[in-house]
Structure 1
Amino acid sequence: MNAEAAASLAGVKDADRKHVFHSWSAQELIDPLAVAGAAGSYFWDYEGKRYLDFSSALVYTNIGYQHPKVAAAIAEQAGKLCTVAPGFAVDVRSEAARLIAERTPGDLDKIFFTNAGAEAVENAVRMARLHTGRPKVLSAYRSYHGATSTAINLTGDARRFGNDTATAGVVRFWGPYLYRSPFHATTEAEECARALTHLEDTIVFEGPQSIAAIILETVGGAPGVLVPPAGYLAGVRELCDRFGIVFVLDEVMVGFGRTGTWFAADNWEVTPDLICFAKGVTSGYVPLGGVAISAAIAETFARRPYPGGLTYSGHVLACAAAVATINVMEEEGVVAQSARTGAELLGPGLRALAERHPSVGEVRGLGTFWALELVRNRETREPLVPYNAAGADNAPMAEFAAACKKGGLWPLVAGNRLHVAPACTITPQDVAKGLEILDGALTVADAHVV
């Protein structure tokens, strides 16, 4: 590393440690990597070490880093109009809404823009409560919906614990998860049927007349890429229709090509009443989120003011990024590429790793969205680390992640799982390279198998 790079690195690290307050962290116990640049499926540090990013940042650089057409569109918009209040009609905002609405399932043709996914969830829940006049929302235990007030109370994973005020009107239920079935199921069909019976029982005993919405991640992201069994989402749709409940799908992580379709719901041909989106809509280049709204719910607010809004709703730079990102995805066939990568490369490659490594309990996923569940024992399915592990208890996963990074792969680990979510545009050569690094790193996890 030359003197100029060393000085830059020192300055970045010093300012970060003095002034940046990092999320989800004990501030004095972390040492963030200083990133100097990124392109495509890679980023690199000031020493020039390149990392193949198997996390897509936080599962949002769907078209990779620094796509020139999107960067140029943002710059062009900045030169034309940097910002304008959300109450005006603006060409780029209208175009972003049109392009999104064209790709949503069914009649979800109205778009309410937010700045991020958590705000999308907040507003979807508000719309559902106002539309139905009911207070309660049902969400799954294994879920993540964001870190703002309502969203974190809706969240089912351990990140809720430090924020849970028990005031969000949330009732939780168990979703399907055959590998660790809460219903003692042995097949996908059993898991689906029993999960739906459990959900119906929950609705009945909570009082359908008090339930505004059921919110689900179409494919559970943070909980470990939990792909619903065939028939489950259609069954939830039927329950919502029967009891007059708004069906909300959280597609913040899985929308815009991640699962090999524009929206993950398309894999099961299910149309919800509201879809929450963010992340991939701009590939994360400028923050943008939103709610796609059905005709029935939009009609509720045709003559009744919607009591919500955001200063930067539909920010023009973000909308320019969305327009360019969607056009790039269309022109370059990114959605179909994501589907092929999953079916032909990631799926077979990860299953081959599972055959060689006893620490891999299950492989699951689709498109460019996969997870390896790591275990101490395949027979008992004991997780490699306990639920919500920290410190020494989390050492096996920390060692595994360190081995990935040493090999030049940046992993996304959560609990006892490795999430494999590279850019939807990743090349076959980089998939092969990433799998090779994982092959070596999994030997570290294998050492903890009993």
Structure 2
Amino acid sequence: MGELSQSGIKPILNQDVIDLDKSVFHSWSIQESAQPVVIAGGLGSIMWDFEGKEYIDFSSQLVNTNIGHQHPKVIDALKAQAETLVTVAPATANYTRGLAAQRILSHAPDKFTKVFFTNAGADANENAIRMARQFTGRDKVLSAYRSYHGNTGTAIAATGDFRRMPNEYSRGHVHFFNPYLYRTEFDANTEEEECQRALSHLKRTIECEGSHTIAAIILETIPGTAGLLIPPKGYLQGVRELATKYGIQLIFDEVMMGFGRTGRWFAFEHFDVVPDLVTFAKGVNSGYVPVGGVLVNSDIVEYFKHHMFMGGLTYSGHPLAMATIVAAIDAMEEEGIIGHADRVGNQVLGPMLLKLKEQHSVIGEIRGLGMFWALELVEDAESREPLCDSKMAKLKTSLIEKGLLSFIVNNRLHVVPPLVIRADEIERGVAIIEECLTLID
């Protein structure tokens, strides 16, 4: 510990926190190599450690603090709920829970009439799949190879990336390739070709698996961790048509991109298509308290009026989480946060990032919408070979040293700041990225 302060209380130093952290088992990490950044507090888009170093948060932590850190309206709501009722069983009727459901449904298409609350995004996907299986009487679930749906049993099996492989103990999962023109699996040269060939591939997958065996297709509306892959025009409509034709429930995983991240309440609004079930978490309350949920359409609601839903959670609709949802959505509405994300994300952040591509050959492609962008980094523009791990590690280290919290996955730098970030903060953050790219270019 450091020297005594004037109050006689020893100040907390970063090293004290690092020492305490040695007792923590970290997720998705080789434990001995984990080097977490020390964070003491935050406000808006800025965070700081115990020794006064500030960071611009270009990660929104795990792409969840949509309304920024420590929003006073949400903090006040959390305190008020704690003084009224801290916890209550999910089978009860709770005022705050009802308000939260209404707030969410008010921004969803009319076909959704109820909300099932979960603890996070993973179990939201888990329960959406469970609903689809019980509703259809079928078993199989189709999902994309380039995807991430969570770390519970069925959600990780639905995930497409390598993390599912040690965890494949949930049955009935089949994967397919979703469109990604930059690294096309279909030998396509245009977005239109990529779209049509990806849909043909999905159709053949359905036919070969047996459409009568498939309960659901689950897709991230815009795959996030997999690379922020904007679907080509017509792709999601084509998936919708296939699902409808074969009586398959279409689930859109909006855990990462819902509640304003793309400049709309839901990302599927950009694509003129409506799924059968929608999962959410993260941005619905900026992650202030763990929570997630499923938007349930009227047909499934009607089915379960006379059939027991075989699912439930002790903390479903927890009052503290519900209070933060109500306050967060109210703040988004009153302060025009969604419009800010659309305007500043597409008119300030996006153009600044696209300008970087002109200056750095290490940037292979830039993709994004609103406050949801990714830079795909390559060794060589012609071969498109992904930038090696050592250079990505150097980039991450230099970003942190210069005061930027980043979200890096494989060879991609995801730029996903809080939706409330100011233009001048964006300029400072992008300047840091430019400086760090110069070191590895």
Same fold (TM over 0.5): yes
- In the alignment, what sits opposite 1:406? 401
TM-superposed CA distance for 1:11, in Å, is 3.6
Q: Would you say 1:219 and 2:222 are equivalent positions?
A: yes
2: CA distance, partners of 1:399 / 1:12? 24
- In the alignment, what sits opposite 2:385? 382
1: CA distance, partners of 2:391 / 2:69? 30
2: CA distance, partners of 1:168 / 1:51? 43
The answer as to whether partners of 1:154 and 1:168 remain within 8 angstroms in 2 is: no
- In the alignment, what sits opposite 1:395? 390
2: CA distance, partners of 1:108 / 1:229? 26
1: CA distance, partners of 2:14 / 2:396? 23
The answer as to whether partners of 2:284 and 2:329 remain within 8 angstroms in 1 is: yes
Match of 2:111 among 102, 107, 123: 107
- In the alignment, what sits opposite 1:442? 437
Give the TM-score taking structure 1 as reference length: 0.95
Which amino acid letter does the alignment assign opposite residue 343 of structure 1? N
2: CA distance, partners of 1:351 / 1:432? 13
Which amino acid letter does the alignment assign opposite residue 194 of structure 2? E
2: CA distance, partners of 1:108 / 1:267? 18
Q: Would you say 1:271 and 2:274 are equivalent positions?
A: yes
Identity %: 54
2: CA distance, partners of 1:289 / 1:57? 17
- In the alignment, what sits opposite 2:291? 288
Q: 1:219 is paired with a residue of what secondary structure?
A: coil
- In the alignment, what sits opposite 1:143? 147
The answer as to whether partners of 1:63 and 1:424 remain within 8 angstroms in 2 is: yes
- In the alignment, what sits opposite 2:17? 12
TM-superposed CA distance for 1:443, in Å, is 1.3
2: CA distance, partners of 1:130 / 1:7? 52
The answer as to whether partners of 2:115 and 2:294 remain within 8 angstroms in 1 is: yes
Q: Would you say 1:433 and 2:433 are equivalent positions?
A: no
The answer as to whether partners of 1:54 and 1:420 remain within 8 angstroms in 2 is: yes
TM-superposed CA distance for 1:405, in Å, is 1.0
Q: Would you say 1:79 and 2:74 are equivalent positions?
A: no
Q: 2:312 is paired with a residue of what secondary structure?
A: coil
The answer as to whether partners of 2:12 and 2:50 remain within 8 angstroms in 1 is: no
1: CA distance, partners of 2:66 / 2:158? 26
Q: 1:161 is paired with a residue of what secondary structure?
A: helix
What do the CA deviations read for 1:225-283 (whole angstroms, capped 9, x no partner)?
11101111111000000000000000000000000000001111211000000000110
Q: 1:383 is paired with a residue of what secondary structure?
A: coil
Alignment of 1:262-411 (within 5 A): 262-385=265-388, 394-411=389-406
CA change 1:10–1:357 in 2 (3 A) is: closer
Match of 2:42 among 25, 38, 41: 38
TM-superposed CA distance for 1:298, in Å, is 1.2
1: CA distance, partners of 2:12 / 2:295? 47
TM-superposed CA distance for 1:186, in Å, is 1.1
TM-superposed CA distance for 1:343, in Å, is 1.4
TM-superposed CA distance for 1:179, in Å, is 0.6
TM-superposed CA distance for 1:25, in Å, is 1.2
Q: 1:276 is paired with a residue of what secondary structure?
A: strand
- In the alignment, what sits opposite 1:388? none
- In the alignment, what sits opposite 1:26? 30
What do the CA deviations read for 1:155-210 (whole angstroms, capped 9, x no partner)?
01122233233x42110000000111111111111111111111001101110000
Q: Would you say 1:70 and 2:74 are equivalent positions?
A: yes
The answer as to whether partners of 1:106 and 1:271 remain within 8 angstroms in 2 is: no
CA change 1:10–1:381 in 2 (3 A) is: closer
Give the TM-score taking structure 2 as reference length: 0.97
Alignment of 1:412-431 (within 5 A): 412-431=407-426
CA change 1:103–1:7 in 2 (3 A) is: closer
TM-superposed CA distance for 1:48, in Å, is 0.8
2: CA distance, partners of 1:275 / 1:261? 15
TM-superposed CA distance for 1:2, in Å, is 6.2
Q: Would you say 1:249 and 2:252 are equivalent positions?
A: yes
2: CA distance, partners of 1:192 / 1:279? 29
Which amino acid letter does the alignment assign opposite residue 383 of structure 2? T
Which amino acid letter does the alignment assign opposite residue 390 of structure 2? A
TM-superposed CA distance for 1:91, in Å, is 0.9
Q: 2:166 is paired with a residue of what secondary structure?
A: coil
Q: 1:63 is paired with a residue of what secondary structure?
A: coil
1: CA distance, partners of 2:25 / 2:242? 43
1: CA distance, partners of 2:15 / 2:425? 31
2: CA distance, partners of 1:280 / 1:433? 24
Give me the CA root mean square deviation: 1.3
1: CA distance, partners of 2:101 / 2:149? 23
TM-superposed CA distance for 1:145, in Å, is 0.2
Q: Would you say 1:175 and 2:170 are equivalent positions?
A: no
The answer as to whether partners of 1:146 and 1:155 remain within 8 angstroms in 2 is: yes
Q: Would you say 1:209 and 2:212 are equivalent positions?
A: yes
User: What is the count of residue pairs matched by the alignment?
Assistant: 436
What do the CA deviations read for 1:133-153 (whole angstroms, capped 9, x no partner)?
111000000000000111111
Structure 2: tracts of 5 or more residues without a match: none
Q: 1:371 is paired with a residue of what secondary structure?
A: strand
2: CA distance, partners of 1:259 / 1:55? 14
Match of 2:129 among 112, 125, 129: 125
Q: Would you say 1:239 and 2:245 are equivalent positions?
A: no
Q: 1:103 is paired with a residue of what secondary structure?
A: coil
The answer as to whether partners of 1:35 and 1:44 remain within 8 angstroms in 2 is: yes
Q: 1:189 is paired with a residue of what secondary structure?
A: helix
2: CA distance, partners of 1:289 / 1:149? 16
- In the alignment, what sits opposite 1:159? 163
Q: 1:376 is paired with a residue of what secondary structure?
A: coil
1: CA distance, partners of 2:392 / 2:18? 26
Which amino acid letter does the alignment assign opposite residue 232 of structure 2? P
Which amino acid letter does the alignment assign opposite residue 190 of structure 2? T
Which amino acid letter does the alignment assign opposite residue 404 of structure 2? L
